[in-house]
Amino acid sequence: MELRVTERVSKIRWIFLPLGMCALVAVGTHAAADVVGDKVLFAVDRVDAFFDAIFSSWSVTAPLVDLVGLGERTFFARAVALAWELSADALLAIPLLGYDERAAADELTIARVLVKRRPSLRLVQPAAALLVSIAGAAAVARLLQGTLLHYPLIGGFVAATALFGLFLLLAPRAVFRSLEHASAQKTAIGLLGLAILGPLAIAAVASL
């Protein structure tokens, strides 16, 4: 009976593994984007001050200074954080849906070959995927423990188990798939991708 359940579950791994990895990275990018939010607010203030200084010089554009008022800045900052997060999802999480599992040893061999190639911007995605999936695993564990906060022992155990499991079973696959995807692309993600993923990866570490 138990064997049958295991077999059935094995048959649908090709659906749930990519979905789970994609979700793990999405949770990680959100944890990172949430940290970025505050910094974005400061950046929005600088940009806003810059444009206010320009727009206020002509009577035609002066009303724009009022339009982006003090209240709207928080909204803008959060909107920038959201756009940042969704772009990172598109660059990191969505490609994970194309994961096609091979034997672990084969995946390791392929990964070694890909990493040893000429170092380039192609390594940005897997590196970001690593940090973001660690942040994602920590965020999932935190959510579990917080949900079970009235049962501290069970909560602590469940969170630690989930964290260990995610580090061991999902995060490495996400990194591998990211490496594989980045290597298969015709062009590297470029400086724009680096500008999106770089700060987010640092923020992912800060979110831990």
- Residue 98, both tokens: 């194309």
> Based on CB atoms, which residue is closest to another protein, 15 or 191?
15
Sign of CA dihedral 109, 114, 117, 121: negative
> Based on CB atoms, which residue is closest to another protein, 57 or 120?
57
Chain positions 166 to 185 lying near another protein, rule: CB under 8 A, are: 166, 169-170
Report in angstroms how near the CB of residue 101 gets to another protein at its nearest.
8
State in Å, rounded, how far the first CA of the chain is from the last one.
41
Interface with another protein: number of residues (CB under 8 A): 69
Among 95, 126, 136, 193, binds another protein (CB under 8 A): 136
Among 109, 120, 147, 185, binds another protein (CB under 8 A): 147
| Rounded CA separation 208/199 (Å) | 15
Chain positions 49 to 68 lying near another protein, rule: CB under 8 A, are: 49, 52-53, 55-57, 62, 65-66
Among 1, 4, 23, 120, binds another protein (CB under 8 A): 23
> Based on CB atoms, which residue is closest to another protein, 89 or 180?
89
Chain positions 70 to 99 lying near another protein, rule: CB under 8 A, are: 70-75, 78-79, 81-82, 85-86, 89, 93
Site residues (vs another protein, CB under 8 A)? 5-6, 9-10, 13, 16-17, 19-24, 26-27, 29-30, 33-34, 37, 41-42, 45-46, 48-49, 52-53, 55-57, 62, 65-66, 69-75, 78-79, 81-82, 85-86, 89, 93, 101-103, 136, 139-140, 142-147, 149-150, 152, 162, 165-166, 169-170
